[in-house]
Amino acid sequence: FLINSTPLQVTMFSCCENVSVEPGEELLSTPVVIEVLMGRHFFVEPPNCYVTFTYGGREYNTETHENATSPQWPDSKHELAYDGQPISIDFAIMQRSAKENVKIASVTVKWDRFLPGLRKVADYLVTPLVPGVKNTAAIRVAATLQPQSMPKRPAGPRRKALFVGICYAGTESYLPKCHEDAEKMKNYFCGHWGFNDTPEDTKVLMDGEGASESSRPTRDNIKAGMKWLVDEAVPGDSLLFFYSGHGSQQPNFNDREKDGFDETLVPVDVETCGMLVDDEINEILVQPLPAGVRLTCFLDSCHSGSGLDLPYRWNPYMEEGASWHLDQGGYYGDADVICVSAAADDETAKGVPAMGEREDFPSGAFAAAWCVACEVHETQCKMNWKEMLKIVKDVCEDFHFGQSVQLSSSQKFDLKREFNFHDCIPNSNDKKGAVVNDGETPVYPSENKLKKSAFIQHMQQMMQMGMPPGMDMGGMMMGF
């Protein structure tokens, strides 16, 4: 291909067609899809690059491609409103590091006219801003004018939910009934908390007999589901993410995690596609959300205490009066995000398959405890977050499984706040990006070296046993 440092110019033809619009929908002006596909010659250290740009008052980002001097962003596709006028976009190439995110290069691309349905791709030379970015550095961008108008999202606040349940059928990591928890929790939240059981508002990913390829909880499908959940979110929206399946850990090599490990979710195709790491989950689920959006997450899995890498954590097992503490491996965000996890980062979560025999009850001890607390909240007295967490904590303790329920959030809030899935408090963060301490990102290299060595030995042992790393199996009561 040829490097093209000039703006893309094509001829635009009229694109007016009769489009059927459902009641309550509005037409969006014919959209332009912008794709940031790849970059080249960004020789910076660490080579963790992504691209960001702002259009129409909204910020768009690619994912971070780690350890690549010529990164690729195959999933970066952004739909922009188009009214027939020229479009000019300033692209910033960013370097994500443990200390801060740095702008390393930039380029302005202008499109004057478009041909409907024609996808035009070009490489654009960037202006280097730091040493290591070569004068041949470029990004490849594609622009496509959609061939017809598209319906806009319904007006007003929207409630969307994604439920993931994985039993790993046919493998040594099998979790009986676990996949069914996704469907059961979907029925509960749609029946009790106002989420809509429609394909437009609710998605379920679960494995097991009869699961279609598009609904299987593979790594790609889970990521696509997360992106669908947060797509087009606006202030007033309330979003929900529920995960039931294996959780694990892997060594963290940027030394931001105090325990030396990143927490992970384990998709059904983990052996071929790998795990979903907490940094990546935060980047997909949390960072795109604007202030005024509420996202609630439930992680019923092992090692899930900081599974979203949120900046603030509160431990229900601390003494009365204990406050939030800053998680030095977290990332600040704009939205009101609350995550409740089944176990601390160094603990396993348990399930009791016999509980799942009930038609309306999940098999996970943590999910079951939440159903008990919600029943008390609905039928006996309205409770706040602290009271709800106490019930969940007490129920889990009654199981004698040794798992500690955890709470994390994008911002500190009063635990006497009424328990609800749809309220939203204003963003109280005046910071962006990675959590820092007195201007410096905390690092723990000496403390974590032995832990990483022990972890590698653990993985080797598990692989010799024919089991995926980090899966602690135990008869009828299984660690998630």
Specify the pairing of strand 478-479 against strand 294-300: unpaired
Residues 6+ apart with CB under 8 A from 438: none
Strand order across the 276-277 sheet: 247-251, 261-265, 276-277
Give the C-alpha separation, 347 to 317, whole Å.
14
Closest to 295 (Cα-Cα) out of 250, 336, 326: 336
**How far is the C-alpha of 405 from the C-alpha of 399, rounded, in Å?**
13
Residues marked active site are found at: 246, 302
Query: How far is it, in rounded angstroms, from Cα 265 to Cα 283?
Result: 14
3-state secondary structure of 36: strand
Alpha helices (H) in 336-384, listed in sequence order: 365-379
Count of alpha carbons within 13 angstroms of residue 259, beta-carbon side:
15
Closest CA to 53 of 3, 152, 126: 126
Q: How many CB atoms lie within 10 A of CB 212?
A: 6
Q: What are the C-alpha distances in Å from 479 to residues 178, 179, 353, 372?
A: 11, 14, 12, 21
Tokens 């000039």 -> residue = 6
Helix (H, G, I), strand (E, B) or coil at 119: strand
Q: What is the dihedral of CA 20, 23, 25, 29, to 10 degrees?
A: 40
Residue type at 45? Answer: E
Instruction: State whether the Cα torsion 381-384-390-391 is positive or negative.
Output: positive
DSSP state string for 180-232: HHHHHHHHHHHHHS----STTTEEEEE-STT--GGGS--HHHHHHHHHHHHTT
